[in-house]
């Protein structure tokens, strides 16, 4: 077949458009996280393109983290990140290095309040909207290690208000998915250095003005919306992170 039809199209390549179209279908919930999407041959047929073209489109979505390929089984919608990844910034004493340890979680306080200007902007809320704020202490071997402040936009996370926090899981992201239908798909962490105030120090069983690392996280759902703002503080002497260039 000749290729002449291509040039009438606006800006993108064909596989780029296909990727956008498939992404939209995933966002609409046509296939739930963890489910298989149709086989490549079927997709190619239904879109009327060659196999290689649909494969390029899928590759874009795999790169983007929306899809995962499994040879011999199929192509699956990503389930979302587990959230335990905060541990990649810290190495605490008496904890195996490579292990995927999850600190025990305890909610110290919950609070409803109006969103700040910055939060309105991040969550794309209108002024005066409400948010749910959590204070959370995470411990390893009964030793407090991380102190977190978590802010969630309120229409979306309404199911968590007046819920029994003692029954919450150690990992919040899977719980977001179960109770609120929110799948965390991407996070961005900004690291800086600070010192603990008196209250924070007491919670972490350290002295006031103790050096700490501050992790400011934005978490995004599968549609790319920011749905969580989190501030994490941990002992600076436990900080250890590795970054590669090129």
Partner DNA sequence: GAGTGGTCTAGACCACGAC
Partner DNA sequence: TCGTGGTCTAGACCACTCT
- Given candidates 15, 90, 157, 173, which one binds DNA under the rule CB under 7 A? 15
User: Does 174 engage in binding with DNA (CB under 7 A)?
Assistant: no
Among 16, 29, 65, 181, indicate the residue that binds a second copy (CB under 8 A). Answer: 65
Q: Name, in order, each residue with C-beta under 8 angstroms of 13's C-beta and a sequence gap of 6 or more.
A: none
Neighbours of 182 (CB within 10 A): 23
According to CB under 7 A, which residues from 73 to 92 bind DNA? 73-75
Binding flag, residue 70, DNA (CB under 7 A) = yes
Q: Residue 204 touches which of a second copy, DNA, none (CB < 5 to 8 A by kind)?
A: none
Answer with the entry of a second copy, DNA, none that 124 interacts with (C-beta below 5 to 8 A by kind): none
> Nearest Cα to 66, choosing from 27, 96, 95, 28?
27
Q: Does residue 52 bind DNA (CB under 7 A)?
A: yes
Cα-Cα end-to-end distance for the chain: 41
Q: Are 161 and 191 in contact (CB under 8 A)?
A: no
List the structure tokens of 16. Answer: 């780029």
CB environment 92-119: b (16+ within 10 A), e (fewer)? beebeeeeeebbebebeebeeeebeeeb
Please state the closest distance from residue 27 (CB atom) to DNA, in A.
19
Residues at the contact surface with DNA, assessed by CB under 7 A: 1-4, 6-7, 13-16, 36-42, 48-53, 55-56, 69-75
Residues at the contact surface with a second copy, assessed by CB under 8 A: 52, 65, 78, 81, 85, 185-193, 211, 213, 236-237, 239-246
């Amino acid at each position: 077949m000749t290729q002449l039809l291509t040039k009438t199209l606006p800006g993108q390549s064909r596989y780029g458009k296909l990727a956008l179209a498939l992404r939209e279908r995933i966002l609409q919930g046509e296939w739930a996280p963890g489910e298989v999407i149709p086989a490549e041959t079927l997709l190619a047929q239904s879109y009327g393109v060659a196999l290689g073209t649909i494969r390029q489109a899928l590759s874009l979505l795999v790169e983007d983290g929306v899809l995962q390929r499994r040879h011999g089984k199929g192509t699956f919608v990503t389930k979302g990140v587990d959230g335990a990844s905060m541990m990649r910034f810290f190495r605490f004493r008496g904890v195996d290095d490579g292990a995927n340890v999850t600190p025990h979680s305890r909610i110290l306080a919950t609070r409803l309040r109006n969103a700040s200007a910055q939060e309105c902007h991040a969550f794309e809320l209108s002024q005066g909207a409400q948010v749910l704020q959590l204070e959370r202490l995470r411990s390893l071997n009964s030793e407090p290690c991380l102190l977190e402040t978590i802010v969630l936009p309120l229409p979306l996370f309404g199911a968590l208000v007046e819920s029994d926090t003692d029954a919450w899981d150690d990992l919040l992201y899977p719980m977001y998915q179960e109770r609120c239908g929110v799948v965390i798909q991407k996070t961005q962490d900004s690291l800086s250095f600070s010192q603990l105030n008196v209250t924070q120090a007491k919670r972490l069983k350290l002295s006031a003005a103790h050096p700490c690392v501050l992790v400011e996280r934005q978490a995004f759902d599968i549609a790319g919306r920011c749905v969580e703002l989190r501030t994490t503080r941990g002992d600076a002497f436990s900080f250890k992170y590795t970054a590669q260039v090129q």
